[in-house]
Structure 1
């Protein structure tokens, strides 16, 4: 595994073969995809911490979906990657959709976990309130984390998988309050991609208890992918929004089957 910093963005690279770029969600980092790595053998896997998140928290200035897109395309250019399979989680799925719709030659396929096209109005309002809470510092992040542990992961995960709960807790509490607040504001103002333009094959995976990407919304999203070369929807039982963390084996299985069908670079 190689680590480098590209324009203050932390980037990990592992393996050889067709390129895969992983894009995490709000409160996440490249480590969100560690449970999926067994399914990505024989690929060149690139994991970047988005500006304002993980080890890239020192990135300055306003954050936005457009900035995330620009950052990832620049990372790919610096690494000599012109086309890749893209894997996203939560907010990262919005970023991936924009790249697929606006830069189709860069995208061989999309695998989206906990996918949403854009936050509904109520969620945008909640994101702005969460940003204000995050700016209270460690105490604010503690309160945010406790709320999300109840709302964003399933009851079954909380009861049976304490390591998964610990990961989500640590991932959130490790975020810098101000940087996390700016990330919340990026999500609060996220524009919807023109998903009808996406031509690449698309895998959509959600949990039956995912309140951010509920199954009915994910199926409606699939219905809008008119031009996608292939589209698959998987709903995982007893699973919340942190699909790769809560149900890694199920996610690996879906990803292996999808890449086997669409694994050409």
Structure 2
């Protein structure tokens, strides 16, 4: 593995072969995709921590989806990645949709875990309230983590997979409060990409208990992918929003098969 900081952005590279770029969601980091690494063998896997998240805490200025898109493409340019398979989780999928819609030649395929186009209005309000709570510091982040453990992972995961629960809790509580607040504001202000223009093959994976990306919304999103070369929707049982963490084996299997079927894209 190679680790480097590029303009205050933490970037990890693993392996050799066709490029895969992974973009995490709110409260996540490059480690969101660690359970999926075996499925991405024989690829050059690039994972970045978005500005303000994970090990990219020193990023200054306002955070927006547009900035995430520009940062991600800049990292790819710096690493001479002109075309890649893209893998996202949650908010990271909004970033990927904008890239895929506006830069189709850069996208060989698009695998989205917990996908949403934008948050609904009620969720935007709740996310903005979460930003205010995050600015209370460590105590606020602890409250956020405890609330999201109940809301964003399934009851089955909480009962059977304490390591998954611990990961989600640590991922959230490791975020610095002000930066997490700015990340919340970026998500709350997110504008939709022109998903109808996406041409690449698309995989959409969600959980049957995912309140952020509920199955009916993910299927509706798939219906809008009129130009996609192919599309597949997978709903994992007894699973919440943190699909790669809650159901790593199932997610890895779906991703491995998807990459294999689009190896020449």
Same fold flag (TM > 0.5): yes
Q: Which residue is 2:72 aligned to?
A: 72
1:5 counterpart SS class: strand
In the aligned structure 2, how far is the partner of 1:221 from the partner of 1:39? 25
- Structure 2 unaligned runs (5+)? none
Q: Which residue is 2:129 aligned to?
A: 129
Question: Normalised by the size of structure 1, how large is the TM-score?
Answer: 0.99
Q: What do residues 24-78 of structure 1 show as CA deviations (whole Å, max 9, x unaligned)?
A: 0000000000000000000000000000000001100000000000000000000
Is 1:12 matched with 2:19? Answer: no
Tell me by how many angstroms 1:264 deviates.
Answer: 2.4
In the aligned structure 2, how far is the partner of 1:128 from the partner of 1:216? 25
Question: Normalised by the size of structure 2, how large is the TM-score?
Answer: 0.99
In the aligned structure 1, how far is the partner of 2:183 from the partner of 2:235? 27
Q: What do residues 113-158 of structure 1 show as CA deviations (whole Å, max 9, x unaligned)?
A: 0000000000111111000000000010000000000000000000
**What is the count of residue pairs matched by the alignment?**
265
RMSD: 0.5
Is 1:21 matched with 2:21? Answer: yes
Tell me by how many angstroms 1:10 deviates.
Answer: 0.2
Q: Which residue is 2:100 aligned to?
A: 100
What does residue range 141-180 of structure 1 map to in structure 2 within 5 Å? 141-180=141-180
- Structure 1 unaligned runs (5+)? none
Contact 1:204–1:234 under 8 Å retained in 2? yes
Contact 1:18–1:264 under 8 Å retained in 2? no
Q: Which residue is 1:254 aligned to?
A: 254
- Runs of 4+, deviation exceeding 4 Å: none
Q: Which residue is 2:81 aligned to?
A: 81
